[in-house]
Amino acid sequence: MPLVPVPVLSDGVVSLRAHREEDVQAVVEQCNDPLSVRWTTVPVPYGVADAQRFVREAMPGGWASDQEWAFAVEVDGRFGGTVSLRNLAGGRAEIAYGAHPAIRGTGAMERALRLLLDWGFSPEGRGLEAVIWYAYPGNWGSRRLAWRLGFDVVTGVLHRWVDHRGTPYDVWAGTLTRDDPREPRTPWLEAPVLDLGEVGLRPLAERDEARIVEAARDETVSFWIGSIPVPFEPEHARSWREDRTEAAASAAAVTWAIVDADDALLGVVNVFNLGVRPGEGEVGYWLHPAGRGRGIAVLAARAAARHALVAIEDGGLGLSRVRLASAVDNEASRRVAQAVGFRYVGLERQGTICRDGRHDTALYDLLPADLAQRDA
């Protein structure tokens, strides 16, 4: 196999270069890492012989056949992963990347991919017109990195689009053209950590799923939120949490776990339906049985509403209005709305779906001026 010279690219912190024999052990470490096994198609188990074939044959072979232009990522003189562009012809390529655990969370992979894209799009490199990115749904690390690089992520999934160890899988996809800015196209909304004294607000986490199941099986919660599946199983909690992450990634909602001093979930509060009406959103909340009767929902809903209405430059969402809807006969929820300072603005007939059918809905709203008046 004729060797094709691989250019060396560097930004002074991260370098891209050809794979070398001394990378073999680090490649084995990377490919046996649980995240690599979960999200890539590396052989399982992965041994030294696999890494040797990768370094000696697969990577040079991609350059020789002009099918894949792959680089080793080097950070502080050590192998940090692999990035590549897979030639799709016609000025198009697929981007692929995998990081050694040692460089995750350091920003090194983003630097490496910016070097790769600059080279791929440049006339001195491959003169590409467009690059596509794929990832399996749930691979939020890859999605967030693609988002930072400016990829236009498709809403939803491409069904059964990529083969994963012999089985067709759904994938996320996004595109980036040569002329696109290499920066996020839309916000990825964060749920800031807030200390409210008796309780705190933080982003949802995998460890919350057991308590989400308990809450969703509670008669009070499942009655007033008629969309909750019955029976509610652990997979429903995982799916719901993934949905909340998707809403944050697409700038549609901010969701917090309400937690006690031991970090146990007491409920959830969110600002959602962002973008449905320009400059507006809606506040919602529910409590685990362990969180009731303590005024926790008022604290959490007040903090969420404030975050929604505070100006962007001051760390909020900068909305002009937040709404709140409650079944007319859900007295506990309506007391929370009133205690927070929401103003009753009307009735929507049969607007809420509960476990026993449709109920009339009490509508409330809150404006920035209301916050200022309350704080005066």
Give the pLDDT confidence of 130-189 residue by residue, as tens digits.
Answer: 999 999 999 999 999 999 999 998 767 888 888 777 888 899 999 999 999 999 999 999
Q: Is the peptide bond before 231 cis (omega within 30 degrees of 0)?
A: yes
Mean pLDDT of all residues in 322-327: 98
What pLDDT score does 127 carry?
Answer: 98
| Amino acid at residue number 52 | Q
Quote the pLDDT of residue 41.
87
Could you give all domains of the chain from N- to C-terminal order, each with its CATH number? 9-177 (3.40.630.30), 194-375 (3.40.630.30)
Which pLDDT band, with edges at 50, 70 and 90, does 353 fall under?
A: very high
- The phi and psi torsions of 57 (rounded to 5 degrees) equal -120, -55
Residue 195: per-residue pLDDT: 97
Cβ-based neighbour number of residue 146 at 10 Å: 25
The stretch 8-32 carries a mean pLDDT of 98
- Rounded to an integer, what distance in angstroms lies between the CA atom of residue 326 and that of residue 361? 5
Residues 6+ apart with CB under 8 A from 149: 110, 113, 114, 117, 176, 182
For 271-300, how does the pLDDT look when each residue is reduced to its tens digit (9 = 90+)?
999 999 999 999 999 999 999 999 999 999
pLDDT at 164: 73
How much is the pLDDT for 155? 66
- Strand blocks (E) in 189-301: 194-195, 200-203, 254-259, 265-272, 280-287
Mean pLDDT for the chain overall: 95
Residue 318 CA to residue 49 CA, distance in Å, equals 56
**Integer Cα distance of 140 and 109 in angstroms:** 15
The C-alpha atoms of residue 255 and residue 317 are separated, in whole angstroms, by 13
pLDDT digits (tens, 9 = 90+) for 228-271: 999 999 999 999 999 999 999 999 999 999 999 999 999 999 99
What the block records as the tokens of 48 is: 């030294």
- Identify the pLDDT of residue 1: 56
Percent of the chain with pLDDT over 90: 92
Q: What is the pLDDT of residues 84-131, one digit of tens each?
A: 999 999 999 999 999 999 999 999 999 999 999 999 999 999 999 999
Instruction: Of 243, 223, 254, give the one whose Cα is nearest residue 322.
Output: 254
DSSP 311-350: -GGGTS---SEEEEEEETT-HHHHHHHHHHTPEEEEEEEE
What local confidence, expressed as pLDDT, does residue 36 receive?
Answer: 94
CA distance linking residue 277 with residue 83, whole number of Å = 41
pLDDT of 338 strictly over 70 = yes
Of the pLDDT bands very low, low, confident and very high (cuts 50, 70, 90), residue 49 is: very high
* pLDDT over 80 (residue 372): no
Extract long-range pairs of 311-318: CB within 8 Å, 24+ residues apart.
Answer: 315/192, 317/189, 317/254, 317/271, 317/274, 317/281, 318/279
pLDDT at residue 2 in the model: 63
Of 327, 249, 248, 318, which Cα lies nearest the Cα of 286? 327
